[in-house]
Structures are given as structure tokens and as C-alpha cells.
Amino acid sequence: MSIFGKIKDAIFGHKTATVDPASRPQIPAGMAGGAPGETTTQPAPTIGGTGVDVGQTLADIATQKNNPDLNYKSSIVDLMKLLGMDSSLDNRKELATELGYTGEKDGSAEMNIWLHKEVMRQLAANGGTVPASLMD
């Protein structure tokens, strides 16, 4: 199985909250662009599908593992550690190849930042709901 496949399975297979359309805030129509007197459902500020809430799932895993020192929100190394994966340079190189990274596969900050952002983009593209804060 690919490295990204393992990441996706670790997140999508974790029992956690999914995005519930009924829980989205109601906004009066005048503010949402609808007819006066109507209310409409405002979409959650996320990018991606309506599947697993990636941000909440990662927060749940972090809480369960009780490791507040991991910076999984911006570090690919810490994200992989949080998910119980080998975060070695060899695995990150393999992940970079899988995801189409074209720069030097030397473990640089540039490569690692790109990997984290691309993993989040791919999770969204595969049906996950990824908060914008994890996409930056």
C-alpha cells in the first residue's frame, strides 16, 4: 500500500465525527442572498467533500494519544507520527514521489511543507472535509 494510502486509511478509517449538514448554521435569506423571510444552510468553512472531518479526526487522535507536543497541523513528520507511521526521510521521499513532488527529495523544509499541504489537498480530493487552516 502506498504511503498516502496508509495516511488516508488511518484518518478515514478512524471512528470520529463526520460533517452533518443539519448542524450547519442557518442564516437569514437577506444575508445569504435568498428570498426575504427564508433561511438557508450556510456551508461549513471547509474544502473538500462531505465525508470524514479531517480536522476533527486528527484532533481526536491527538487527544487519544495524549501527545500535545506534535505539530501535526503543519508538520508532515508530526502528522505521520500522530498516525503511528514511520516518518523517516525514506518514507517522506516515497510519499513525495507518489504525490508528484518535483523538487529535490532531500528532506528540506520546502519539501516537507509541500508534502503536508499536498496530503491535505489529496485528503480533500478523496472526499475528506479539510478545514482551510490545514490547507495553508
pLDDT at 22: 45
Q: Which domain holds residue 113?
A: 3-18+46-135
- Count the Cβ atoms, other than its own, within 10 Å of residue 20: 10
Residues 41/24, Cβ–Cβ less than 8 Å:
yes
Considering the domain boundaries, does residue 31 fall inside one? no
Q: Is 79 within the bounds of a domain?
A: yes
Is the CB of residue 7 less than 8 Å from the CB of residue 80? Answer: yes
- Residue 24 included in any domain: no
87 occurs within a structural domain: yes
pLDDT, tens digit, 9 for 90 and up, residues 9-18? 999 997 544 4
> What residues pair up with 27 in beta bridges, in sequence order?
40
Give pLDDT tens digits for 30-58: 444 444 444 444 334 444 444 899 999 99
Classify residue 95: in a domain, yes or no. yes
Q: What is the pLDDT of residue 4?
A: 97
Residue 54 lies in a domain: yes
Structurally, how many domains does the chain consist of?
A: 1
Q: What pTM, to 2 d.p., does this model score?
A: 0.74
Cα–Cα distances (Å) from 18 to 8, 32, 125, in that order, read 15, 25, 16
